[in-house]
Each structure stands twice: as structure tokens, then as C-alpha cells.
């Protein structure tokens, strides 16, 4: 997949997400991740979609993978929210919206 193809998929996924078409957005992010499996942003955005779909365990897994891939990314780390007790981070669940 070319960079232009990937960009087109990501733009389409963002539009689908914004319009509430979460399953479509998830499918598009899955394609993007298959092409770029080391891109933390893709995993972060997939986590946000999975969260909207109430697929919490999958969202946590995707969020954790994003952090594994890039634990130094300031925006990612600054937007981590815990699951469990308030203000008690349990895992890397976050939402990234572009």
C-alpha cells in the first residue's frame, strides 16, 4: 500500500468516525494497521473506535499496543485515562481525535 493509499484510508476512516459509522471506521483502521503495523496512532484511533462500540477489552488491547509502539509520544501519554477507580490509571485507554 502506498502512502497516498494509506492517507486516503485514514481520511475515510476519520469521516466515518465523525459521522458515527464506527464499524466502517473500524474496518478502515484494520486495513491501515495491516499495512502499517508499527504505527501507534493507528492503534490509538482504533482504540477510540472500539470504545465507542463498547468493546472495552479490545479497546484496552489496542491502546496498550499503541503505547508499546511509542511510549514517548507526549500526546498519547498525556491523554491516557484509567479504567477502574477515578484518577487511578489501570491501563492505556485513551481517545485520539483528529
- Counting residues of the chain whose pLDDT is more than 90, the rounded percentage is 44
pLDDT of residue 31: 96
Q: pTM of the predicted model, to two decimals?
A: 0.74
pLDDT in tens, 37-84: 999 999 989 988 998 998 888 988 888 888 889 876 545 444 545 444
Measure the CA angle with vertex 41, ends 22 and 23; round to 5°. 10
Q: Residue 18's domain is classified under what CATH number?
A: 1.25.40.10
Q: Please list, in sequence order, all residues whose beta carbon lies within 8 angstroms of the beta carbon of residue 5, skipping any fewer than 6 positions away.
A: 35
Host domain of residue 71: 3-94
Yes or no: say if 69 and 46 are a contact pair by the CB < 8 Å rule: no
Asked whether residue 21 carries a pLDDT value surpassing 60, the answer given is yes
Could you give the number of structural domains in the chain? 1
Amino acid at each position: 500500500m502506498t502512502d497516498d493509499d494509506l492517507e486516503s484510508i485514514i481520511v475515510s476512516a476519520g469521516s466515518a468516525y465523525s459521522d458515527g459509522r464506527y464499524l466502517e471506521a473500524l474496518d478502515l483502521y484494520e486495513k491501515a494497521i495491516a499495512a502499517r503495523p508499527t504505527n501507534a496512532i493507528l492503534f490509538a484511533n482504533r482504540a477510540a473506535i472500539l470504545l465507542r462500540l463498547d468493546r472495552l477489552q479490545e479497546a484496552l488491547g489496542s491502546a496498550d499496543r499503541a503505547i508499546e509502539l511509542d511510549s514517548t509520544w507526549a500526546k498519547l501519554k498525556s491523554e491516557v485515562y484509567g479504567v477502574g477507580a477515578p484518577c487511578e490509571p489501570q491501563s492505556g485507554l485513551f481517545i485520539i481525535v483528529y
